Amino acid sequence: MQPLQWERRPDGLRAPAIVCAFKGWNDAGDAASTAVQFVGTSLGATRFASIDPEEFYDFQSTRPQVRVDAQGVREITWPVVEVYEARVPRAPRDLVLIVGHEPSYRWRTFCQLVVDLAEALGAQLVVSLGSLLADVAHTRPIAVTGIASDRSLVERLDVMSSSYEGPTGIVGALQAACTRADLPAASLWAAVPHYIASAPNPKAALALVRKLEGLVGVTVDASELEQATLDYERQVNLAVQSDPDVQAFVERLERAADEEEQPFDPTDLPSGDRIASEFQRFLRQRGDV
C-alpha cells in the first residue's frame, strides 16, 4: 500500500500554496494546528488525500482512538495525516492544507512524500506553521519569527528572522527537504507563554493566521478566533490575579519585554511548572477544563 492515499485528484488549483502543521512537539498551545484547522474551516476546505500512518507512527506514543457509532459498533480511528484543498476564488491562489500528528519514524521519507505531493499539484510555495514555548507574557502581542528558503521570501515574511539552533521537529526537517528540492518554503513560529503551555492558545493561533494571510495573499474571517482570544485573555488574567506570586512573575516578564532585556534569572520567582499547575487548578475550579 502506498503511504499517500488519493481519494481524488483536485483539478484546476490556481498557483497553490501548501500550508501544514503537525500536533506535538512543534505545536505548543495547539496554536499551529488550530491555525491550519481554522483556515480550513473558514474556507470550506475538503479532504482529497491522506497519509497512511502505518510506516510513520509509534502507536504506543500516538494512540488510535476507539469510538462507538450510533449503531453501537466500535470503530478505531487511526492518527492519519489529512490533506485538504481550499478554493479561494477572490484570492491570487488556492491552498492545500496538511494537518496531523508529528510522525515518529522515517522523517526523510515523510518529508519526501510532502515534496512529491507539492510537485504533483504544482505548488508554488510550502508554508509550515509551528509554535514554541518562550519566556513571554500573555499580555503582550504574540511574537512571530520565521525562516525562508530565499531572500525574497524572507522580505515577504515581515517577521523577525529566527536564529534558533538546537533540536528540531518535523517542521524543521520539512523546511530543509523543500530547500533541497528547490521548492520555495517558509516557516512561521509563534511564541507561547511557557507558564500556560498546557492550555490551548487561540491568541497565538490568531497571530499565525494573520501572518499567513500576508504571506500567501489569502484572507479569512477570523472573528471567531478573535473572540476566542478575548475569552482566553480574560481567563488567564483572572488566574494571574488570583496569585500574587504568579502576578509578580508576569509583571517581570512584561518589564523584560518593555526594556528589551536579556532573559532574566527567575530564581526569586515561582517556577513555570508551578505556575502552569496553579493555572490548571484555577481553570478546573471554574469548570473550564
Rama region for 281: left / alpha / beta (φ>0; ψ in -120 to 50; rest): alpha
Domain boundary residue among 174, 198, 221? 221
* DSSP code at position 194: G
- Contacts (Cβ under 8 Å, ≥6 apart) of 260: none
Q: Are residues 107 and 231 in the same domain?
A: no
pLDDT at 277: 58
Q: Are residues 212 and 166 in the same domain?
A: yes
Q: Are residues 136 and 244 in the same domain?
A: no
Q: Are residues 145 and 231 in the same domain?
A: no
Q: Are residues 17 and 114 in the same domain?
A: yes
Residue 21: CB atoms within 10 A of its CB come to 30
- β-pair partners for 61: none
Q: Are residues 61 and 156 in the same domain?
A: yes
* Residue-wise pLDDT tens digits, 39-55: 999 999 999 999 999 99
pLDDT at 192: 94
257: nearest Cα among 118, 125, 139: 139
**CATH assignment at residue 93:** 3.40.50.10900
Which residues in the chain come in under a pLDDT of 50? 262-270, 289
pLDDT at 18: 98
**What is the tally of structural domains in the chain?**
2
Domain boundary residue among 182, 202, 221? 221
- Contacts (Cβ under 8 Å, ≥6 apart) of 201: 28, 29, 30, 31, 34, 131, 192, 193, 232
Intra-chain end-to-end CA distance of the chain, in Å:
40
Domain boundary residue among 175, 195, 221? 221
235: nearest Cα among 203, 269, 268, 267: 203
C-alpha to C-alpha distance for 125 and 131, rounded to whole angstroms: 20
Residues belonging to the chain: 289
Q: Are residues 254 and 190 in the same domain?
A: no
The angle at the Cα of 132, spanning 129 to 135, to the nearest 5 degrees, equals: 145
The HSE-up count of residue 208 (CA atoms within 13 Å, CB side) is 34
Q: Are residues 133 and 258 in the same domain?
A: no
Q: Are residues 10 and 42 in the same domain?
A: yes
* Secondary structure of residue 187 in the 3-state scheme: strand
pLDDT at 258: 84
Q: Are residues 236 and 183 in the same domain?
A: no
Q: Are residues 213 and 235 in the same domain?
A: no
Domain that holds residue 183: 4-221
pLDDT at 268: 42
Q: Are residues 169 and 141 in the same domain?
A: yes
* Residue-wise pLDDT tens digits, 220-272: 999 999 999 999 999 999 988 888 888 888 888 898 888 765 444 444 444 55
Angle between helices 223-241 and 244-259 (to 10 degrees): 120
C-alpha to C-alpha distance for 202 and 145, rounded to whole angstroms: 17
pLDDT at 269: 42
